[in-house]
Structure 1
């Protein structure tokens, strides 16, 4: 009996997951649009400077896919919230389902979205440099265009992990809002309140969190940190979802 239950659970999750991939095509379309917009914003450079003396002048411009990555993170965070809403949950009524299978298929969808978002974000960063190098009139003296294969691999993996982390955070926020509707108003107010507070004072805690996730030099340790944090966020989301089922 246990074997039959496990097989049925796996089949239901698989069917829901494949159904969501087909139904949520618009999610990936919006990703392409956002990344194209971010790419346009990045054409002017993400930083730089200049200097010179007499007839000698040097301009330094930095081009990277950071803006594309930020847009991708915002995209997955918002969609992490959206897939917890009632409109998306009603799509699962086509299946014999429960909260567990719904959550598992959602997590698989978020993971897929993170994979797609991470790969395309890094690819967009490389495309940005290609466009600047070949299609804009410039006379570069020094270029650092070469990227090793291992750097690309680490970059893709790190971006996927970051995107999945924020997707998990969005899923938690969405689960909280579905359980406590008033949080839909409280959370945005609290978020911007915290931003203003951070802008007005030097808070060591925030710096510590930033260093914990964004300045880790060991890729293995970074992976453990992100996966552990994402796992905790998703477990809390599942717990909240179960409470919501009881209330319903």
Structure 2
């Protein structure tokens, strides 16, 4: 038995560092996901055109990084589920660890991945702008960049990161629920689909309220508070449920 007593913070730090090294491939997949979403975004979200009697024509195309953000949210959601699998949990047994330290290390890794993914999604939006200028017949372009509007740029990055944290927490809770009982692999999608269909068809006002509460908040600070509270509840739920998992023998 070791005479050195490890504190919880030391154990979490070592597990976190291990997970960052072990999951470097996750960030490689992020690049692939964002490149695919970039290709989907090249067509633009909408366009309008007009002509004049002199033969001049004006076409206005709108490009948005929304598709890139959506694909990145899907990436962080799937990553959060994968980090709860049994194989990953068993890797933690190479450390003197417990459920709490393992979950805290997982959450720290997901927060790191959310920050990287959220910031990368916004920067990919600038790459989209560059590609459209180089490949398209663009005479004049408008948009916000760090140099043009630094405040809006930081708001976009912050909001994107907060979205990633929210979806990582949702994915982590989903993965933990499935690990507690495999029957939820089938039950959980059915419940979510049923709830979405019921709310969307039977109660449109509730659907709008839920959507506006999460996705249509105009204040960044209020959005941050909502996101942090919901994410904390999701992570706390995962922590509680993980205590019901079997112990490796």
TM-score, with structure 2 as normaliser: 0.90
Residues in 2 aligned to 1:240 and 1:247: alpha-carbon distance in whole angstroms: 16
Per-residue displacement from partner, 1:85-144 (whole Å, max 9, x unpaired)? 1011111111011100000000000000001001100000011011112x124143x521
TM-score, with structure 1 as normaliser: 0.90
Residues in 2 aligned to 1:181 and 1:118: alpha-carbon distance in whole angstroms: 31
2:153 corresponds to which residue? 152
Residues in 1 aligned to 2:70 and 2:144: alpha-carbon distance in whole angstroms: 23
1:17 corresponds to which residue? 16
Residues in 1 aligned to 2:40 and 2:31: alpha-carbon distance in whole angstroms: 14
Q: Residues 50-199 of structure 1 correspond to what in structure 2 (within 5 A)? A: 50-52=49-51, 54=53, 55-133=55-133, 135-140=134-139, 142-147=140-145, 148-197=149-198
Which stretch of structure 1 is more off in the superposition, 219-228 or 54-63?
54-63
Residues in 2 aligned to 1:73 and 1:169: alpha-carbon distance in whole angstroms: 11
Structure 2 CA distance for partners of 1:199 and 1:116, relative to 1, 3 Å: same
The reply to whether residue 42 of structure 1 matches residue 22 of structure 2 is no
Per-residue displacement from partner, 1:9-32 (whole Å, max 9, x unpaired)? 111100100000001111111111
Q: CA deviation at 1:169?
A: 0.4
Residues in 2 aligned to 1:62 and 1:192: alpha-carbon distance in whole angstroms: 32
Residues in 1 aligned to 2:96 and 2:107: alpha-carbon distance in whole angstroms: 18
User: What secondary structure does 2:243 align onto?
Assistant: helix
1:231 corresponds to which residue? 232
Unaligned runs of 5+ in 2: none
User: What secondary structure does 1:49 align onto?
Assistant: strand
User: What secondary structure does 1:22 align onto?
Assistant: helix
Structure 2 CA distance for partners of 1:101 and 1:42, relative to 1, 3 Å: same
8 Å CA contact retained: 2:144, 2:153: no
Residues in 1 aligned to 2:19 and 2:179: alpha-carbon distance in whole angstroms: 20
Unaligned runs of 5+ in 1: none
Superposition CA RMSD, Å:
2.1
Which stretch of structure 1 is more off in the superposition, 179-188 or 194-203?
194-203
Residues in 1 aligned to 2:186 and 2:137: alpha-carbon distance in whole angstroms: 49
Q: CA deviation at 1:8?
A: 1.4
Q: CA deviation at 1:146?
A: 3.9
Residues in 1 aligned to 2:138 and 2:17: alpha-carbon distance in whole angstroms: 49
